Amino acid sequence: MATNRNILTLDEFTIQEMRAFPQATGQLAGLLRDIGLAAKRVNVEVNKAGLVDILGDEGSVNVQGEEVKKLDIFANDQLMGVLRHGISCAGIGSEELDEIVLFDDEISNKSKYVCLFDPLDGSSNIDVNVSIGTIFSIYRRVSEIGKPATKEDFLQPGNKQVAAGYIVYGSSTMLVYATKRGVNGFTLDRAIGEYLLSHPNIKCPEWGKIYSVNHGNFFRYNQGVKEYITACQKKDKTNGGPYTQRYIGSMVSDVHRNLIKGGIFMYPATTEKPGGKLRLLYECNPFAFIVQIAGGKATNGEINILDVQPTTLHQRTPFFVGSIKMMEELESYLAAAK
């Protein structure tokens, strides 16, 4: 079937968006194109994951203490490659790299942006053919243009993000990204190798019926979280229920579904992991930004997660994100249990 010419490609869309900013240089559009290209390459590998020697452990343990999968490294290298060779990014931070990497060459030092990413989210699902993703977060540098980027460029609070997005390698492959102007979703048309605007101006429903949490950890959560989860289980027709529990174990897929359908995703602190599991800079902040722009909300259980001042690249945080009314209900349970 011929491609519908009324549907914009990602490149066409980002270039049209520039019209709203007469001072725009096209670097952000270039950055999104670079990330989209890396994701197409990852998508090809993900699709043949069962056929060739791309499954399984890489043999090392990352700075987080997790077993690294071959696809984690492949995705990391693809993203690092396109961003290093592009003209928009002065340096990167990644789940799979111990330290930030400053590109520090003549072109990169003139770039306006730095990028943080989780190259492959949902590693534990790679070997079993379940949806996985990539998450990215983009900041305007606070350091002097013309010089190498600095650590401070990466340790900005989430509310300073210029753009954030994710790619979900699911039954179709989608790239979703947000700027302050809105959230837009693009589906990869494999026939032409382009992302097409399939989900313009995404809004997160105010209420949903889905809650997503690892129930296996229930007895390790604090009292307020336990009471909220129990309330979710007790919901019925009289108070907006019944709710459905959905938990894939790939945050990209779990939050993508809840963003579209309405819902709440939680990765609370546990007795074993009092600081939570998910990483602030390249997992939580990008999703907090996207969901907030779409009308929802995200917190660490205390404050808006976008207001947290980061101190280290790989710091973790408890994370709650989703539909605005569900988040308000959660907050009332957390406050009551204090």
Q: How many residues bind ligand AHG (CB under 6 A)?
A: 12
Q: Closer to ligand AHG at the Cβ: 94 or 111?
A: 94
> Is residue 264 within 8 Å of residue 208, measured between CB atoms?
yes
Q: Is 319 helix (H, G, I), strand (E, B) or coil?
A: strand
From 116-124, 180-188, 298-306, 320-328, give the range in contact with ligand AHG by CB under 6 A: 116-124
Partner from Mn ion, ligand AHG, none contacting 310, C-beta within 5 to 8 A by type = none
Residues that bind Mn ion (CB under 5 A): 66, 95, 118, 120-121, 123, 283
- Residue among 283, 278, 317 at smallest CA distance from 299: 317
Tokens describing residue 243:
């709710």
What count of Cα atoms within 13 Å lies in the side-chain half-sphere of residue 299? Answer: 15
> Is residue 123 part of the contact set for ligand AHG (CB under 6 A)?
yes
Closest approach of Mn ion to the CB of residue 283, in Å: 5
CA angle 268, 271, 272 (to 5 degrees): 100
Alpha carbon distance, N-terminus to C-terminus of the chain: 58
Shortest approach of Mn ion to residue 72 CB, angstroms? 6
How many C-beta atoms surround the C-beta of residue 335 within 10 A? 9
Ordered strands of the 101-102 beta sheet:
101-102, 89-94, 113-121, 132-140, 161-169, 173-179, 182-189, 194-199
State which residue, 121 or 194, has the beta carbon closest to ligand AHG.
Answer: 121
Judged by CB under 6 A, does residue 118 bind ligand AHG?
yes
State the minimum distance, in angstroms, from the CB of residue 280 to Mn ion: 12
Task: Please tell me whether residue 152 adopts helix, strand or coil conformation.
Answer: helix
User: Interface with ligand AHG by CB under 6 A: which range of 12-20, 185-193, 244-252, 305-313?
Assistant: 244-252
CB of 214: closest distance to ligand AHG in angstroms? 4
Residue nearer to Mn ion on the CB measure, 146 or 216: 216
Residue 28 or 35 with smaller CB distance to ligand AHG: 35
Position 214 contacts ligand AHG (CB under 6 A): yes
Residues 270 to 309 in contact with ligand AHG, rule: CB under 6 A: 277
Listed in sequence order, the residues at least 6 apart from 299 whose beta carbon sits closer than 8 Å to its beta carbon are 305, 320, 321, 327, 331
By CB under 6 A, which span of 33-41, 43-51, 121-129, 196-204 interacts with ligand AHG? 121-129
Residue 250: closest CA among 146, 171, 134: 134
CB of 120 to ligand AHG, least distance (A): 6
> Distance of alpha carbon 59 from its chain centroid, rounded?
26
The residue (of 154 and 228) whose beta carbon lies closer to Mn ion is 154
Would you list which residues are annotated within the binding site for Mg(2+)? 95, 118, 120-121, 283
Nearer to ligand AHG, 221 or 267 (CB): 267
Q: Residue 55 phi/psi, 5° resolution?
A: -80, 165
The values of phi and psi at residue 63, to 5°, are -65, -20
Contacts for 219 with CB less than 8 Å, ≥ 6 apart: 226
Least spacing, CB of residue 16 vs Mn ion, in Å: 31
- The verdict on 317 binding ligand AHG (CB under 6 A) reads no
Q: Which is nearer to Mn ion, 254 or 283 (CB)?
A: 283
In the sheet where 210-212 sits, what is the strand order? 244-245, 210-212, 263-267, 319-322, 297-299
**Quick check: 185 binds ligand AHG (CB under 6 A)?**
no
Structure tokens at 194: 């382009």
Q: By CB under 6 A, is residue 122 in contact with ligand AHG?
A: yes
Tokens describing residue 332: 């009332």
The correct pick among 66, 67, 227, 331 for binding ligand AHG (CB under 6 A) is 66
**At closest approach, how far in Å is the CB of 117 from Mn ion?**
9
Q: Using CA atoms, how far apart are residues 37 and 79, in angstroms rounded to an integer?
A: 9
Query: Footprint of ligand AHG on this chain (CB under 6 A)?
Result: 66, 95, 118, 121-123, 214, 249-251, 267, 277
